[in-house]
Structure 1
Amino acid sequence: MNILKSVRKIPGGIMLVPLLLGALVHTFTPGAGPYFGGFTNGLISGTVPILAVWFFCMGASINIKASGTVLRKSGTIVVTKVLVAWVVGIVAMQFLPHDGISSGLFAGYSVLALVAAMDMTNGGLYASIMTQYGTKEEAGAFVLTSLESGPLVTMLILGSTGAAVFEPQLFIGAVLPFVIGFALGNLDSELREFFSRATETMIPFFGFALGNTIDLAVIGKTGLGGILLGLLVIVITGIPLILADKYIGKGNGTAGLAASSTAGAAVANPMLIAEMKPEFLTAAQSATALVATSVVVTAILVPILTAYWYKWQQKKGNVSGVQQDTKASA
């Protein structure tokens, strides 16, 4: 059976197929992990440790001579994402009620919901996609996306300052495995080659674990409004990200499109903010469901759209020879 070959024919399949399988497991048998326990539970619920090892290997695979590219790409993604969410927040404040829209297709839409869905990139999803469709440096450009984590950026965009505690060690903890891997890989070229072999191999494991955090039924709970929010995130953040990647990041737009997702951690932000600012409580309840649906929609569509964009760039001759040789089969 040519399972791997068949999976590779699906745009973003190495990531997408395991993710969908994990989502199906979580949706129909949410207690499977605790029931089986042991290593099975580790595979089902091990998103963080799997990502930690994968980030370490990704760091080890990057040559220090190319670190400027990593920072430029990462900074471009973070700044563009935050600026776009900021503009969306400013515009939305002029038209949406504080508690959000109460009925109709856009029921639940609020400034909180829009900003929370748009201001955080799913760093793991981005890096996994770019492992297939970009360079190692582009895949490693998730480094600064940890700055978006937590409710801090969302609160700043909403005009709430000084109410969130964002401890410095959390930033350090987010990048430490990558930094250690990066250091070892550059101290010893053999270690770089050894660890870099695992970067693509671990993508299905991360995808499956990430899928096990997604309940497909949430789409039905929020209806078309939630699906539409996911599409809006891709369009509204994706276009500026593509342009920023091309003209600032010096890429071909693939990395920008790969970053046009909603981070899974963003689901928690509305309620976290409501705990600190009770005036957001009414909007937060609807925003949570909407953002969760956006996570599902963008996690499914962004890998597919990125794959097609990458192949289009190949046809236009905008992909380097190295990328052509190593990524075309993905």
Structure 2
Amino acid sequence: MRLKDTIDRVPGGLMLVPLLLGALCHTFAPNAPAYFKGFTQGIMTGVVPILAVWFFCMGASITLGGTGTVLRKSGTIVLTKFLAAWAITFVASLFIPPEGIQTGFFAGLTILAVVCAMDMTNGGLYASLMQTYGTKEEAGAFVLTSIESGPLMSMIILGASGVAHFEPQVFVGAVLPFIAGFILGNLDPKLRAFFTPGGLLMIPFFAFSLGNTIDLKNLLSPVVALGVVLALSVIVLTAVPLIIADRIVGGGNGTAGLAASSTAGAAAANPMAIAAVAPQFTAAAKTATPLVAICVIVTSIVVPILTGIWYKKFGNGAAERFDTGVDLHPANQSAPPLGQPAAGGHF
């Protein structure tokens, strides 16, 4: 059976499929962890320790090296996404009460859901899009997006926008595993090579544990439609500043900026991770998690489509067609008719 291939075909599948399995367990067998106890209970309810190991491995995977172009692209994307998420969160806090919206179409929308959906870019999706529509330097620019992983950026935005106040030790506790991994990974390349695979390996485990906090019966409510609206808002509200920054600061044509306007699969874990260190968000995390998960799915589908359209209209794809009358980018080439040479080729 090709289960892994099937999972890979699902947008954010490595995160979302185990998340769904965990949600099914919680929905139809909510007492299973207490019934089985032991290791089974640990893997079904151990969101925080599993996330801690994942943050450590993510930190270990980041290197200080990199070319100037890659770092400029990375820095532009990360900083712009952070500032856009902060501005959006600040404005949203003027309209969304601390306990979230309780009635109407937007019932269940909280500031926690907004910030977690907005501030993390799907690095894998971005890299794959840039391999198709960008340069190798742009593809490598996802290197710094790992800094967005985990709850730290979301917590900084919540604090900077005045939504919440965190004690200094809470910030330190949230980022310490990441920093420890980063230091060890850069002190010894062999340690980096040893720990880096754990970042990918831990994803289905914390996703399954996270899913065991979600009751799928809640999806029968308008939360799905609200999640779609939130996802489209993520694309629109972050793509505009990202495109502008990519063109002005990054020296690109805007394609890279649009490709970064997604929600990372790991963002679905942030509400519960923040609630673990800041209990005042416990109630909000329960509604924020499914909303952010929907954002992951929708942006993973819509962003590649929009990126391809943008590339053909305003990027190198448009320039190639204007100069030659033929789209010369390999990703957009189709096979020539039988017996005919490819563009620029010979029999």
Same fold by TM-score, threshold 0.5 exceeded?
yes
Specify the alignment match of 1:248 in structure 2. 245
Identity of aligned residues (%): 33
Maintained 8 Å contact 1:146/1:174: yes
Deviations 1:239-274 (A, max 9, x none): 2223334443754434431259675249969x948x
- Cα distance, 1:38–1:114 mapped onto 2, change above 3 Å: closer
Q: How far apart, in 2, do the equivalents of 1:99 and 1:171 lie?
A: 23
Specify the alignment match of 1:106 in structure 2. 105
Maintained 8 Å contact 1:8/1:14: yes
- 2:31 paired with 1:31: yes
Q: Secondary structure at the match of 1:166?
A: coil
Shift of 1:312: 6.4
Aligned counterpart for 1:118 among listed residues 95, 100, 114: 114
**In the alignment, residue 130 of structure 1 is paired with which amino acid?**
G
- 2:257 paired with 1:258: no
Structure 1 unaligned residues grouped into runs of 5+ = 158-163, 274-287, 319-323, 325-330
Q: Under a length normalisation based on structure 1, what TM-score does the superposition of the two structures give?
A: 0.69
Specify the alignment match of 1:280 in structure 2. none
Q: Secondary structure at the match of 1:185?
A: helix
Shift of 1:68: 7.4
**In the alignment, residue 123 of structure 2 is paired with which amino acid?**
M
Deviations 1:199-253 (A, max 9, x none): 2222211211111111112233xx32x3333233222233222333444375443
Q: How far apart, in 2, do the equivalents of 1:107 and 1:69 lie?
A: 35
Q: How far apart, in 2, do the equivalents of 1:148 and 1:184 lie?
A: 25
What are the within-5 Å matches in structure 2 for residues 186-205 of structure 1?
186-205=186-205
Q: Secondary structure at the match of 2:30?
A: coil
Shift of 1:148: 3.0
- 2:123 paired with 1:130: yes
Q: How far apart, in 2, do the equivalents of 1:37 and 1:122 lie?
A: 36
Q: Secondary structure at the match of 2:215?
A: coil
- Cα distance, 1:40–1:246 mapped onto 2, change above 3 Å: farther
What are the within-5 Å matches in structure 2 for residues 319-330 of structure 1?
none
Specify the alignment match of 2:83 in structure 1. 79
- Identify the structure with bigger relative contact order (alpha carbons < 8 Å, sequence gap 6+): 1
Specify the alignment match of 1:142 in structure 2. 148
Q: How far apart, in 2, do the equivalents of 1:169 and 1:85 lie?
A: 23
Q: Under a length normalisation based on structure 2, what TM-score does the superposition of the two structures give?
A: 0.66
Deviations 1:25-55 (A, max 9, x none): 1111112112211211121111111111111
**In the alignment, residue 218 of structure 1 is paired with which amino acid?**
N
The structure with the larger Rg is: 2
The more displaced of 13-22 and 291-300 is 291-300
Maintained 8 Å contact 2:100/2:110: no
- 2:192 paired with 1:171: no
Maintained 8 Å contact 1:45/1:209: yes
CA RMSD of aligned residues (A): 4.1
Specify the alignment match of 2:209 in structure 1. 209
Q: Secondary structure at the match of 1:217?
A: helix
- Cα distance, 1:62–1:28 mapped onto 2, change above 3 Å: same
Q: How far apart, in 1, do the equivalents of 2:147 and 2:157 lie?
A: 21
Q: Secondary structure at the match of 1:256?
A: coil
Q: How far apart, in 2, do the equivalents of 1:192 and 1:10 lie?
A: 29
Q: How far apart, in 1, do the equivalents of 2:280 and 2:111 lie?
A: 14
Maintained 8 Å contact 2:117/2:295: no
**In the alignment, residue 48 of structure 2 is paired with which amino acid?**
V
- 2:237 paired with 1:232: no
Deviations 1:280-327 (A, max 9, x none): xxxxxxxx58x7445314303414532553476479598xxxxx9xxx
Maintained 8 Å contact 1:61/1:195: yes
Q: How many aligned positions are there? A: 285
Maintained 8 Å contact 2:27/2:215: yes
- 2:162 paired with 1:156: yes
Specify the alignment match of 2:303 in structure 1. 309
Maintained 8 Å contact 1:77/1:241: yes
Maintained 8 Å contact 1:238/1:259: no
